[in-house]
Amino acid sequence: MPYLVIAKKLQNNWIYLAGAAIFGCFSAWNSLFYFLGVIGISLFCNWRVSKTVALLTFAIGVGFYSYSLFRVPEPLEDVSRIQATMTEHMKLDGDRLTAFVLTETGARAFISYKIESEQQVKEFAEQNWTGRKLELEVALPEPRQSSHPFEFSFKTYLFSKGAGGSYEVSSVRVEGEAGGPLWTLRKWMSSLRQHIHEQVVQKVPLSLQDEFLALTIGDRTLADDDSQRLYQKLGISHLFAISGLHVALLTGVIYKILLLLSFRRLHIYVSVLALVPFYMFLAGGAPSIVRASLLIFVATLLVIFKIKIPPSDLLAGVFLLTLLYFPFYLLQPGYQLSFLAVTSFVFSTKLLRHNSFWLSAFFTTVVCQLAVLPVILYHFQQLSIISLPLNVVAIPLFTFVIMPFSFFYTGLALLPFEQLPLISNYGSFRGLIQFLFELSANLPFAVWTPPSTRSIFLITVVFVCVIFYVAEKRVFLALALFLVGCALWQLLPQLNEQAKISFLYVGQGDSTVIEFPYKEQVVVIDTGGVATFSKEPWQKRNGYEVGRSIVTPYLRSKGISTIDVLMLTHADADHTEGAEEVLEEFEVRQLIIPQGILKLEELQDVIEVAKKKEIPVHELIAPLELSSTSMRVVLLPVPGVYQGNDSSIVTVAEVYGTKVVLSGDLEMEGEGKMLRQYGGYLKTSDVIKLGHHGSKTSSTEQWLDTINPEVAIGSAGENNRYGHPHTIILERLKAKDIPYLGTHELGTIELLIDSSGTRTFKTLE
């Protein structure tokens, strides 16, 4: 029969259908350019497999492209009031509640609500809100100006969750409870998760609470930011996300226990079929959990009905099923990493089988790391080198020790024990493991930051070639190709003669990055920040960190791992708050600040990090010149006692005949002092970054006439409360025929200067 012929031809070839589905979904989300992937896979199948498989592959690609277009979330309506039902995806952060809700039209929406009182915080924290029907007074927020392509994309995040947008909520009123068996199940599951959370918090030491909840029910509400960054740096963060490893371990233990209790195998398999979906919902139903649970569920069914199919076909089939459920799971980094890692493991099992357990584990880890390399570099702009040997030890450690103990003690916490036996001993053991993790993170060359993720195309081509040669069992050729590709990639910046000055969009703040030709030096001036105000303890949030959210991803995307000079023009929070994160994330060779701010309270966190990392801190009391063969940067201090904005350090950069002046937050008095003291440095410049974000108290006639720029750059926040840049300044620039470019309108602005002196302004929207 025809379908049997097709089924036979598809044996061991389902992976091509999955690949075509991926490119079809991406085409619907972003650009038809991705459809070239569907065409490429189809042509490969026509060349190496068969015309039938090639046609089916192309049909699957077209089908998923069309289906994904149909599943694109509809934009939310601009209304003032909605009826909605709360889902289990709710998060409290100080006085801010965020959640996903289902509107009365069936649309999924993200909501953000500023809680009005401490009592209301307790109500949200202590009660189960899943399934509650709400009347919400809402407003669509103003679209936010993006800084650069490498910052966190809230729009893509919402898309990957099936939400058509977000609402700012001003009022919440409960109207009742959602009915029906599905909502009853969801509410019961949410109550069970909340009960487990409460029991673990009551009975487990603080240092172990997050780990137990994360490894057993996928609850990361207690996650510590510092620990998460440590695990990401070490390349072991995947061990704390519930995936196939957890589900397989749990079902394996259940299988063994029921077997020891003399259950018949059929009854065991039926028990597994019942328990796997239960655990999938209990663990939060994240895409990686759904994929793993569905894989084991289908595999169990195949065992029951004695159907044998290749593991690769099973994996690809399950992947297609999850995409049918919701195609834009693909946009979630965790799902991408999970699928690539499992796929590489399945395809490398036979190839990397070795008599030595440790050698086999090492080679498998290397292959998995290679498989997820493009995804890691795209999302995180760095690669943990130490993760290769560390995972060889960490994966067995978590599989056979940490994960079983987490399940064991979480289970005991649900029983009427006042104190868990030997929990303090286990806590000491886990503390030792954590100490070794921290020690490993401080090893030299633990992390590799590639030269530029703009070169992601090169590494992807190398990656595809490596996978091809590994599949053809030409392992040494694959390794050689990979090393050559990485070496070429590493050399790219040393061949670039361009100088680059980047004016980062950090909201209402300042941050500028100067890259010398051939990457001889990197200077970062200010790091942006958000002004903070005193709050009650219940109102305090974890906070949005400009340094970690905007500045760090931008620097990494440019391949920057070392900063020669980090200079803070003055002590205002909108220039310095992000410095702490930058100092923590990069190798900074020296920190330069104005004279008189070293002891200021608002700078102490920054100074503390600098001391901890043994970074020299210099107060600038005289002009300092940083130079290379083709570029000179001069830092100019304002003479006299520190006076806030009027003591901002001014930077003058000269390269290939172009002079750029960066004014900090200088106002009228500071500009006058600077002109009297350093007028010769400032005369006849080409580009100026306006002082104090374009405030009317800066950029005086005398200042502009002396500098006489051809272009003015302004760094200000979109719709900021101060009215920057002020209309007086814009009119003054217009009268002098000076074009103005603002980050509040264009996002991050890059000024590229080549050896011929040609200047190019580039925006990164």
| pLDDT at 462 > cutoff 70 | no
pLDDT tier, 213 (very low <50, low <70, confident <90, very high otherwise): very high
**What pLDDT score does 450 carry?**
74
Averaged pLDDT for residues 39-55: 90
Long-range contacts of 633-636 (CB under 8 A, 24+ apart): 633/514, 633/521, 633/523, 634/681, 635/567, 635/592, 636/674, 636/677, 636/678, 636/681
pLDDT tens digit sequence for 647-661: 999 999 999 999 999
**What pLDDT score does 386 carry?**
84
| pLDDT at 359 > cutoff 70 | no
Mean pLDDT, the chain, rounded, equals 87
| pLDDT at 176 > cutoff 60 | yes
Of 24-33, 235-244, 514-523, 608-617, the least confident: 235-244
| pLDDT at 344 > cutoff 80 | no
Sheet with 591-594, strands from edge to edge, namely 617-620, 591-594, 565-567, 522-525, 512-515, 499-503, 749-753, 759-763
222-231, 268-277, 338-347, 452-461: which is most confident: 268-277
pLDDT tens digit sequence for 225-241: 888 888 888 888 878 87
The secondary structure of 481-532 as a DSSP string is HHHHHHHHHHHGGGG---EEEEE---SSS--EEEE-GGG--EEEE-------
| pLDDT at 725 > cutoff 50 | yes
Place of tokens 């005949």: 657
pLDDT tier, 410 (very low <50, low <70, confident <90, very high otherwise): very high
Domains contained in the chain, CATH given: 2-71 (no CATH), 81-178 (2.40.50.140), 194-348+385-449 (no CATH), 496-533+545-763 (3.60.15.10)
The secondary structure of 319-349 as a DSSP string is HHHHHHH-GGGGGSHHHHHHHHHHHHHHHHT
Chain CA centroid to CA 244, Å: 22
**What pLDDT score does 339 carry?**
80
pLDDT > 70 in the chain, percent: 91
| pLDDT at 457 > cutoff 60 | no
Side-chain-facing half-sphere of 134: CA atoms under 13 Å: 24
**What pLDDT score does 532 carry?**
64
pLDDT tier, 534 (very low <50, low <70, confident <90, very high otherwise): low
pLDDT tens digit sequence for 120-163: 888 888 889 999 999 999 999 887 778 888 888 888 899 899 99
**What pLDDT score does 554 carry?**
92
| pLDDT at 765 > cutoff 80 | no
| pLDDT at 22 > cutoff 50 | yes
Burial class (CB in 10 A: 0-12, 13-18, 19+), 457: exposed
Of 293-297, 379-383, 420-424, 754-758, the least confident: 379-383
Reduce the DSSP state of residue 728 to 3 states and report it.
helix
d(CA 453, CA 457): 8
pLDDT tens digit sequence for 239-296: 887 777 778 878 888 888 888 888 888 899 999 899 999 998 888 888 878 888 898 9
pLDDT > 90 in the chain, percent: 49
Averaged pLDDT for residues 193-219: 93
| pLDDT at 224 > cutoff 90 | no
| pLDDT at 401 > cutoff 80 | yes
Place of tokens 């070490």: 234
Averaged pLDDT for residues 366-375: 73
| pLDDT at 394 > cutoff 80 | yes
pLDDT tens digit sequence for 658-695: 999 999 999 999 999 999 999 889 988 999 999 999 99
**What pLDDT score does 1 carry?**
47
Tell whether omega for the bond before 141 is within 30 degrees of 0, i.e. cis.
Answer: no
Distances (CA, A) of 420 to 213, 279, 369, 413, 415: 16, 24, 38, 7, 10
pLDDT tier, 727 (very low <50, low <70, confident <90, very high otherwise): very high
Decide which of 617 and 392 is more confident. 617
pTM as predicted: 0.87
d(CA 547, CA 528): 7
**What pLDDT score does 442 carry?**
83
Question: Cα–Cα–Cα angle for 561, 563, 565, nearest 5°?
Answer: 175
Say if residues 576 and 607 touch (Cβ distance below 8 Å).
no
pLDDT tens digit sequence for 512-533: 999 999 889 999 999 998 766 5
Backbone angles phi, psi at 632, to 5 degrees: -135, 130
**What pLDDT score does 452 carry?**
65
Reduce the DSSP state of residue 259 to 3 states and report it.
helix
